[in-house]
Structure 1
Amino acid sequence: MTIQTQVQDLLDFIDASPSPWHAVATIEQRLQAQQFQRIQENDSWSLAAGGRYYVIRDASSIAAFVIGKRDLAETGFKILGAHTDSPGLRVKPQPLIDSDKLLRLAVEVYGGPILATFTDRDLSLAGRLAYLDSDGNIASRLLRFDQALLRLPNLAIHMNRGVNEDGLKLKKQSELPLLFSASAEQQLPADRFRQLLERSSGIAADRILGWELNVYDTQKGTLWGDEQLFYADSQLDNLASCHAGLSALLDKDSLNSGNTLVCAFFDHEEIGSESCKGAAGSFLPDVLERIANSLGNKPDDYRRALANSFMISADMAHAYQPNFPGAYESGHKVIVNHGPVIKLNVNHRYASECISEAMFMQICRQAEVPFQKYAHHGDLPCGSTIGPISSAKLGIRSVDVGSPMWAMHSLRESAGVLDHAYMIRALRGFFGNR
């Protein structure tokens, strides 16, 4: 693939994945195309050296792995971690508000989005439904509305004269409901929404039990800039890292390296990872231990494997935006299209320490990839990642890295074409090196 083709493939990947559940479905399709076999957590596992497998927990977290032919206790796991969720808006259980001859959709804030970026966009819904199937069993199904369904119109400047000086501020309870339709006096709002779901899903409204629906931007991703060296889309944080990790895993040199490789993509990172399928849950430890057990390793061998393992936590990094120089640490300006970023924080908001930092530097040098280092502005609280959480649970040496990007947590984020190619190349080197 050329660099431009790689990024277009990323944009296609994101545009097919407007929710964490869709992201996992997209990843699954790509794994199956490379002969990966799905296994279930409630089945007994029988794994073979050279085998390709994946397991999904609750439809929005997935772990894909290749069983190496080398001794696991001696070589350990090579792990890439990222997350499938992005900050945004989710539909409330009682969805429609009927007032002033208009229907509005009640939404709740998920994580920490830049709320102002949701205004005046062509928005729609995607996620999953829970319903009763024909046998009376609870089942779930993906749902996506392709057409623009919702909008959050801005207040005219004539009524908000200070908006350009004070910034746009939205009250989460009263000013975030999204315009949906004209009200219909002869129909209850709850019935109206369920009928909408029925038309789109084909599931009878009285069988629909609940939903997890994500508000997404219908505008597709694009390349931009004079030489098309930048790209923009929603959910770059963190589907760009998922795509880079998956692309590296599916490279033929990675698959044939003889190493035991793991890509773990978690939901719920944006809200703290405390769930059965988040990085703070048991998902990754369960998968790693079951791999070791299936290969006949003794408990002590599994602990040896963990001690010989290395994890790269890949999450996007803050690129320097020259319009706002005061927001950045002056000695740590991360520049777009200048390579992957090693993220460092003395309070361990990132998992990196000097040894794991040096190890990733060596990975980049061997792959002929430039790299940068990032430290957060001292007067601002630093975000975190799955890196410290997973590293603490497993006792595995880990490093936090990411591709530089602008407008993190905006509905429309931007990054550099070269950086995505650099990250894929570095992760290929990580998976393929002996």
Structure 2
Amino acid sequence: MSESGEFVSALIDFLAASPTSYHAVATVADRLSAAGFTHMDEQQRWSGVGGKRFLVRGGAVVAWIVPEILTDNVGFRVVGAHTDSPALKLKPKADLWVAGWQQLNMEVYGGPLINSFLDRELGLAGRIVDLDGTEHLVRTGPVMRVSQLAPHLDRSVNDRLTIDRQAELMPSFGLGDEPDIVTLLCDQAGISPAVFAFADVLSYPTEAPAVFGNNGEFLASSRLDDLSSVFPALNALTKLESGPDVAVFAAFDHEEVGSATTSGAQGPLLADTLARIAGGLGATGDAWYAMLARSSCVSSDAAHSVNPNHVGKYDPLSRPMMNQGPVLKVSAQQRYATDASTAALWERACREADVPHQVFVSNNDVPCGSTIGPLTATRLGIPTVDAGIPILSMHSAREMCGTADPEYLSRALTAYWQGA
């Protein structure tokens, strides 16, 4: 297998192991530990911050490497990404019985392409918490499905598909003889339903990630937005020995719903962690602010590849293609945090890594989305650039990317951390 093929194979394994943000973080933590990183407990005083370390908070993880030799000009080099994706989320009272069918009462998490969740075998995954506060990861196989109405019963369905999120998006779960959902989840966790307290459980498509195309040039999978950034960053960090600055990897949860949580990019997680690292290195007071001023951030999130069926939705001079490298994302409205200074930083990293790269800017009549980039830049005041690999079907239950781009991104992030 080629080096590129090995990278994609490892990415597929990571995607398959990470159906939710909680599973993704558990997988990241396992790989960090295997690479010699020390787990830090947020609830305890830290006796040291040097070397390779990480912490976990819910569906988020922050890892860092402190250089062996600290200069007076040390700063932070942060790579940010997110672990969550659009899905259906289990409601607290989830058991429904309709016309002989056992269904699950769920709500929409984030902004998915809802039609992509139809006629697809779905599993349940996430965490349940028992009465003493212990968290348990759970994951079923394919157990439910949201079925479309046949065109014989709705002749207009191919003219315009509309979906009532409450009445038409409830998955079928059984024929009335299945266990209630709490019992099912507790069985998965190996605990008694008597100690069950609450669940953060979401749907996930059970179809495995797959390489396809005449030359194996494409990868189809759920959750490429944004695990297509999380894995390349993890790969780069675990192979990094040291750089001129403190290398930091922050994978946040809840980006798809606004990031305003304790484990999201609007919360204090990154700022607090950086402050504790700086304090452990003796940089407090004015020295802390000076260290921030010497810092930078790459906000790494999936970008839009040009869709050949909808070219009018793109800027005529900015149409990113798959397998031509990561994409610099630019917005005059600052929906992306990129400016001339940080774009130059990204250019240096890509050149140093010998990685091809592209630019995305929106069609003036088509508003773009946003990322953790502006949130990080605003909260910490550090220069930030937005970049990521180009994908299609963003927010679908099954997205696609080029098989070369994730490794290109990993190489660029390595160069950034090494001081490009």
What band does the TM-score fall into relative to the shorter chain?
A: over 0.9
In structure 2, list runs of 5 or more residues that go unmatched: none
Aligned 1:356-375 pairs, distance under 5 A = 356-375=342-361
2:347 pairs with 1:343: no
- Does structure 2 conserve the Cα–Cα contact (< 8 Å) formed by 1:73 and 1:308? no
| CA distances 1:87-130 after superposition (whole Å, capped 9, x unpaired) | 11100111011121111111100010001001111101000001
Does residue 1:406 correspond to 2:400, yes or no? no
Q: Which residue of 1 aligns with 2:148?
A: 154
Distance 2:264 2:306 in 1: 30
Aligned to 1:82: 81
Q: Give the match for residue 142 of structure 1.
A: 137
Select the residue among 152, 158, 165 that pairs with 1:172: 165
Q: How far off its partner does 1:162 sit? A: 2.3
**Per the alignment, in what secondary structure is the counterpart of residue 158 of structure 2?**
helix
| Structure 2 residue aligned with 1:209 | 197
**Separation (CA, whole Å) in 2 of partners of 1:395 and 1:201:** 42
Matched, 1:52 2:41: no
Q: Determine the structure 2 residue equivalent to 1:35.
A: 36
Equivalent residues of 1:69, 1:259 under 8 A apart: no
Find the residue that maps to 2:108 and give its secondary structure. Answer: strand
Q: Could you tell me which residue of structure 2 aligns to residue 232 of structure 1?
A: 220
- The one-letter amino acid paired with 1:150 is M
Q: CA deviation at 1:259?
A: 3.0
1:96 is aligned to 95
Deviation of the 1:47 alpha carbon: 2.2
Give aligned pairs, total.
Answer: 419
SS in 2 for 1:329: coil
Query: Is the contact made by 1:73 and 1:304 (CA closer than 8 Å) also made in structure 2?
Result: no
SS, match of residue 235 in structure 2: helix
What's the CA shift string for 1:364-385, capped at 9, x where partnerless?
A: 1121111111111211221000
Deviation for aligned residue 1:297: 1.7
Mapped to 2, the partners of 1:203 and 1:303 lie a distance apart of 47
The answer (yes or no) to whether the contact 2:74–2:244 under 8 Å persists in 1 is: no
Question: CA–CA distance in 1 between the matches of 2:218 and 2:314?
Answer: 21
Judged with a 3 Å threshold, the aligned counterparts in structure 2 of structure 1 residues 258 and 69 are, in CA distance, closer, same or farther, namely farther
Alignment-mate amino acid for residue 410 of structure 2: I
Match of 1:192 among 173, 176, 180: 180
- Give per-residue Cα distances to partners, 1:241-300, cap 9 Å, x unaligned: 00011111111xx22335310000000100011011110000000000000101112321
Structure 1 letter corresponding to 2:226? N
Q: Distance in 1 between matches of 2:23 and 2:71?
A: 33
Q: Using a 3 Å threshold, how does the CA distance of structure 1 residues 357 and 6 change in structure 2: closer, same or farther? A: same
Q: Is the CA contact 1:317–1:401 (under 8 Å) kept in the aligned structure 2?
A: yes
How far does the alpha carbon of each residue in 1:61-110 deviate from its partner, in whole angstroms, 9 at most, with x for none? 11000111343651211100000000111001110111211111111000
Seen in structure 2, the aligned counterparts of structure 1 residues 180 and 401 have a Cα distance that, compared at 3 Å, is: same
Structure 2 counterpart of 1:53, one-letter code = R
Rounded to whole Å, the distance in 2 between the matches of 1:333 and 1:263 is 29
Q: 1 CA distance for matches of 2:170 and 2:157? A: 20
Aligned to 1:10: 11
Give yes or no for the alignment of 1:23 onto 2:16. no
What percent of counterpart residues are identical? 37
How much has 1:201 moved relative to structure 2?
A: 1.8
- Write the distance in 1 (CA, Å) between the matches of 2:412 and 2:373: 18
**2:317 matched to 1:331?**
yes
**Could you tell me how far apart the structure 2 residues matched to 1:335 and 1:349 are?**
21
Superposition map of 1:281-320 within 5 A: 281-320=267-306
Task: State whether residues 338 and 372 of structure 1, in contact with CA within 8 Å, keep that contact through their aligned partners in structure 2.
Answer: yes
Deviation at 1:386, TM superposition (A): 0.2
**TM-score (norm: length of structure 2):** 0.97
CA root-mean-square deviation: 1.4
State the SS of the aligned residue for 2:73.
helix
Gaps of 5+ in 1: none
Contact 1:340 1:404 in 2 (8 A): yes
* Whole-angstrom CA distance in 2 between matches of 1:72 and 1:210: 48
In 1, the alpha carbon distance for the partners of 2:185 and 2:56 equals 25
Q: 1:73 to 1:213 in 2, by over 3 A?
A: farther
- Aligned residue for 2:409? 423
62-71 or 4-13, larger mean C-alpha shift: 62-71
Question: Contact 2:244–2:419 at 8 Å: present in 1 too?
Answer: no
The answer as to whether partners of 2:68 and 2:242 remain within 8 angstroms in 1 is: no
Task: Please give the secondary structure, in 2, of the residue aligned with 1:170.
Answer: coil
**Runs of 4 or more off by more than 6 Å in structure 1?**
none
1:373-407, Cα deviation, whole Å (9 max, x unpaired): 11112112210000000111111000000100000
Q: Aligned AA for 2:325?
A: G
TM-score, scaled relative to structure 1: 0.94
Q: 1:158 & 1:86 partners in 2: Cα distance?
A: 34
Structure 1 pair 352–72 and aligned structure 2 pair: CA distance change class (3 A): farther
Query: Contact conserved, 2:49 with 2:277, CA < 8 A, in 1?
Result: no
2:364 counterpart (375, 378, 386): 378
Between the aligned partners of 1:131 and 1:356, the Cα distance in structure 2 is: 45
